[in-house]
């Protein structure tokens, strides 16, 4: 009888390095599964150079006030990127030991929710309290936008006052989204200690979302940030459509780098890069981060990523971001979310799934996964929304996750992680645990796990 042999090909490191260089030169931009792409951005000749921009961007920029200046500045920022790529291919060696999760469900998760259920102020407050008790220490509390345009954000001032007054959440940050100076004044009156401003790397999206150009959007951000600095309020920045736009299609990474750098220059302590419609892939994410970090090598500790899971790529994209050293991830419990001004945008990546991914990589995040799954079931049930967390659905509503403590005698540390119900349980009595710890307390090797 004949036999078949399967051969695995090992890719040399130099090939991976060459691939990363190609990504940074925009040679492998993602193929977007919709028709609203600019004609020139899809041709290889127009996307092979970092200084070339989609025709749709150029025309929109030239028509908008100040838009031409933005295009020119971004083109200048792109010069030299091809020869200045200082980031080798993503590596597990760069994965941080701790990742801070910014929970966005109370704002981004609810703002575009399609539901007949009434979302009361009390429901929002209860959600935030539960998230804080699960270990999350940065939770978006709301948005000070017009209730006429985003009705589900009505009552954000009441929510913010309530959570800030809660004595059990004094160590939790509650950023709120602020679109303009009027919104800032409302946030200030409600006692905001941290705000978020937003813009986009797409001229068309800026026009649709905020009725202004990128240049005008940045000018608005600058005014709001200036007011925040006068009142000693921290500012977080958002850049939307970093990997694709529902109106323009592909987005040039050099524009993302330019807008991000401008927000840092204005005073943002952190900037979150958002794949607003969830079309990004690991290759596109690597290309984006290579470009941004080549332009701003010192910004790796100040960048966050914000992925929607429209095409099921969010966790893969986060894994790539972690391998670039990114240590802040936005997520939404239960996978709630979407953008009211972005066609095709589905929910955010589920916080439960991100926590499970991080634990699998040995990365701490300080979140109780069992409680988080319970919260996901609770809030989606309250809202009549589908529960989108794969981890939460697999764990079930009541079975949950089991806590497992790992003692490192050598390091003198205790690590807590949460195991799915399918993992066999090992039982060690307290007496046996104490005996083994005493036996090894003078030794410098080995990790002991007790469950």
Known catalytic residues? 339
Sheet holding 194-200, edge to edge: 100-103, 328-331, 303-307, 270-275, 234-240, 194-200, 176-177, 142-143
Which residue shows structure tokens 């690590």?
Answer: 415
Structure tokens at 345: 């945008």
Place of tokens 């050293």: 325
> Exposed/middle/buried for 16, CB within 10 Å: 0-12, 13-18, 19+?
middle
Q: CA–CA separation, 379 vs 347, rounded Å?
A: 14
Q: Are 199 and 157 in contact (CB under 8 A)?
A: no
Within 8 A by CB and 6+ apart from 142, the residues are 106, 107, 124, 153, 155, 156, 157, 159, 160, 176, 177
Structure tokens at 176: 């709120």
Beta pairing, strands 270-275 & 303-307: parallel
Length of the chain: 451
**b/e per residue 380-418 (b: at least 16 CB within 10 A):** bebbebebbbbbbbebeeeebbeebeebebeeeeeeebb
- H or E element: which one contains 60? helix 55-63
- Beta strand 142-143 pairing with 176-177: parallel
What does the alpha-carbon distance between residue 171 and residue 163 come to, in Å, rounded to a whole number? 11
Closest CA to 336 of 323, 326, 350, 324: 350
What helix, strand, coil percent values describe the chain, rounded to 5? 45, 15, 40
Residue 351 CA to residue 431 CA, distance in Å, equals 37
């Amino acid at each position: 009888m004949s036999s078949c042999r399967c051969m695995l090909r090992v890719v040399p490191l130099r090939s991976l390095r060459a691939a990363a260089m190609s990504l940074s030169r925009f040679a492998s931009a993602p193929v977007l599964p919709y028709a609203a792409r600019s004609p020139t951005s899809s041709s290889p000749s127009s996307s092979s150079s970092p200084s070339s921009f989609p025709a749709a961007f150029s025309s929109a920029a030239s028509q908008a006030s100040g838009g031409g200046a933005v295009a020119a500045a971004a083109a200048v920022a792109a010069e030299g990127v091809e020869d200045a790529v200082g980031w080798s291919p993503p590596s597990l060696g760069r994965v941080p030991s701790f990742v801070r999760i910014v929970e966005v469900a109370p704002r981004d998760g609810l703002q575009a929710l399609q539901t007949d259920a009434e979302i009361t102020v009390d429901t929002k407050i209860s959600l935030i309290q539960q998230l804080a008790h699960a270990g999350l220490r940065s939770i978006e509390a709301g948005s000070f936008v017009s209730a006429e345009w985003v009705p589900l954000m009505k009552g954000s001032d009441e929510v913010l006052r309530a959570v800030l007054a809660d004595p059990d959440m004094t160590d939790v940050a509650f950023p709120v989204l602020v679109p303009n100076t009027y919104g800032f004044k409302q946030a200030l009156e409600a006692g905001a200690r941290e705000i978020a401003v937003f813009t986009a790397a797409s001229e068309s999206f800026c026009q649709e979302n905020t009725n202004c150009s990128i240049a005008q959007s940045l000018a608005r951000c600058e005014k709001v940030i200036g007011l925040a600095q006068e009142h000693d309020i921290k500012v977080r920045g958002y850049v939307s459509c970093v990997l694709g736009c529902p109106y323009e299609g592909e987005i040039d990474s050099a524009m993302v780098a330019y807008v991000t750098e401008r927000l840092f220059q204005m005073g943002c302590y952190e900037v979150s890069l958002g794949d607003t419609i969830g079309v990004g892939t690991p290759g596109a994410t690597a290309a984006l981060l290579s470009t941004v970090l080549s332009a701003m090598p010192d910004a790796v500790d100040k960048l966050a990523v914000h992925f929607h899971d429209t095409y099921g790529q969010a966790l893969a994209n986060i894994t790539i971001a972690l391998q670039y050293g990114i240590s802040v991830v936005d997520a939404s419990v239960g996978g709630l979310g979407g953008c009211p001004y972005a066609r095709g945008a589905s929910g955010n990546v589920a916080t439960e799934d991100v926590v499970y991914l991080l634990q699998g990589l040995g990365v701490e995040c300080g979140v109780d996964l069992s409680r988080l799954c319970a919260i996901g079931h609770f809030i989606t049930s309250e809202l009549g929304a589908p529960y989108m967390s794969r981890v939460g659905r697999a764990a079930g509503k009541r079975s949950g996750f089991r806590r497992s403590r790992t003692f490192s005698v050598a390091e003198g540390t205790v690590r807590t992680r949460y195991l799915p119900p399918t993992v066999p349980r090992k039982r060690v009595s307290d007496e046996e645990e104490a005996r083994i710890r005493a036996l090894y307390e003078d030794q410098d090797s080995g990790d002991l796990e007790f469950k």
